Amino acid sequence: MANQEHSCGLYYRPQMRIMAYEALDFYDVDSLLTEEERMVRDMVRDWVDEEVIPNIEIACRDGVFPDEWRVALGEMGVLGAPLKGYGCPGLSYTAYGVICRELERGDSGLRSFASVQGSLAMYPIWDFGSEEQKNYYLPKMASGEWIGCFGLTEPDYGSNPGDMITKAEDMGDHYLLNGAKMWITNGSIAELAVVWAKLDGVIRGFIVEKNDPGFSAPEMKGKHSLKASVTSELVFQDCKIPKDRMLPGVKGLRGPFSCLNNARYGISWGALGSAQACFDSAKDYAMSRIQFNHPIASYQLVQNKLSWMLREITKGQLLAYHLGQKKDAGNWIPEHISLAKMNNVDIALEIARVARDIHGANGILDEYPIMRHMANLESVKTYEGTHDIHNLIIGRHITGIQAFTREA
């Protein structure tokens, strides 16, 4: 591999230059943010610089999500960012997007934690829960005291959750839950899970607490991606759920899909954070790496790659910002979110690959963030709706014809 030198069996790597992060914002999109949104951006950005980036590779090697990050996110008041009341921050959806972008610049696992906590665990309680449920759970979750997770995907049912086999039975004074959920972020460290199961054939949401009898959440090991994120299986074996733990305000897939739309929205911003991190590293490396007596940034091929990165990030920023404005105004449709999630993750992953190419062999080292972001984005491209599923959502919008199944 180029740029690697072996001498007497020793591996040589050039010393990494530590450069201050300079956010790429070619069209000055952040100037459109409100003062509050810029304050939130700066707070999260500084925290990521000071606490996350110096420690993220250690967390990945150990395969842990540091508990001090949970505490800090709660203290900053960014969990459940756009939710109002019940101790929630009450920020704009644009601010939530900015938070996701800054967190994912640190690592996709960090954004995943906040996204699952706010969009997938807190949101269904906030929107579909009883007043008692909202008052009991949301303040604890907004502060970071309690971690939540979201159980929809099953071992055999991912893109088609309507066919789930996890079911609840009404036993008179309680519900009995049986089944399993797979690929659950935060599962093993969560105090509660919002679980979707069929009750008399109708999908309903249930709040399962970690000490409920018959419930376990074994952690999934051996991941090459999202290594600083806890991923688990949720297992329910005659799991006894009190009657007051069912979400009363929703039936059917509208419940989980409402949650997923908010999570996908956050991803459309978050992926840009990964892309910006890769661009920043590639630019700095190209300016400092000398080959043939000149920095490689002086060569046309490298400049073409950097220019392409800037172009795609800028388009993604404009897409995310406009979507944020539509979310705040309430005039969005799910297809808007599908397009943004699909596009921005796609370009972020390709930017990571091109950035690795600019770094040469050094791009595989954990001294640089490139391979970590690339591996993470492979997962991000799949979860919360795969790239292909979002394409079909857009296709249905264009033609009026669903192409998910062979059925009419």
Judged against a pLDDT cut of 50, whether residue 2 lies above it is answered with no
**Same domain (yes/no): 316, 351:** yes
Compute and round to an integer the Cα radius of gyration of the chain: 22
pLDDT at 10: 34
- Rounded to an integer, the average pLDDT of 370-390 is 95
104 contacts 110 by C-beta, under 8 angstroms: yes
pLDDT at 408: 57
Judged against a pLDDT cut of 60, whether residue 23 lies above it is answered with yes
- Rounded to an integer, the average pLDDT of 90-116 is 98
pLDDT at 4: 42
Task: Residue 200: give the domain boundaries.
Answer: 148-251
> Which residues, 6+ apart, have CB-to-CB distance to 72 below 8 Å?
47, 51
- Rounded to an integer, the average pLDDT of 108-115 is 97
pLDDT at 159: 84
Cα of first residue to Cα of last residue in the chain, in angstroms, is 52
Classify residue 141 by burial, with Cβ atoms within 10 Å: 0-12, 13-18, 19+.
buried
SS3 content of the chain, % helix, strand, coil (to 5): 55, 15, 30
Judged against a pLDDT cut of 80, whether residue 16 lies above it is answered with no
| End residue of a domain, out of 127, 142, 157 | 142
Give the other-Cβ count within 10 Å of 386's Cβ.
14
**Same domain (yes/no): 363, 342:** yes
32-65, pLDDT tens digit by residue? 999 999 999 999 999 999 999 999 999 999 999 9
202-243, pLDDT tens digit by residue? 999 999 999 999 999 999 999 999 999 999 999 999 999 999
pLDDT at 19: 57
**Same domain (yes/no): 108, 204:** no
- Rounded to an integer, the average pLDDT of 249-267 is 96
- Rounded to an integer, the average pLDDT of 372-380 is 97
398 contacts 274 by C-beta, under 8 angstroms: no
Which pLDDT band holds residue 22 (cuts at 50, 70, 90)? Answer: confident
The Cα-based distances of 329 to 81, 93, 256, 326 in angstroms read 16, 9, 22, 5
Is the residue at 21 inside a domain?
no
- Rounded to an integer, the average pLDDT of 187-195 is 97
**Same domain (yes/no): 38, 152:** no
**Same domain (yes/no): 187, 285:** no
277-323, pLDDT tens digit by residue? 999 999 999 999 999 999 999 999 999 999 999 999 999 999 999 99
**Same domain (yes/no): 77, 160:** no
Cα–Cα distance measured from residue 203 to residue 200, given in angstroms and rounded to the nearest whole number? 8
**Same domain (yes/no): 272, 379:** yes
Closest CA to 327 of 131, 153, 119: 119
CATH code, 87: 1.10.540.10
Q: Residue holding tokens 């791009």?
A: 363
377 contacts 349 by C-beta, under 8 angstroms: yes
Mean pLDDT of the chain: 93
- Rounded to an integer, the average pLDDT of 184-210 is 97
pLDDT at 14: 39
Share of the chain above pLDDT 70, in %: 95
Is the residue at 115 inside a domain?
yes
Q: How many structural domains comprise the chain?
A: 3
Which pLDDT band holds residue 160 (cuts at 50, 70, 90)? Answer: confident
Return the active site residues.
Answer: 384
Share of the chain above pLDDT 90, in %: 91
Is the residue at 13 inside a domain?
no
pLDDT at 17: 41
Would you call 267 helix, strand, or coil by DSSP?
helix
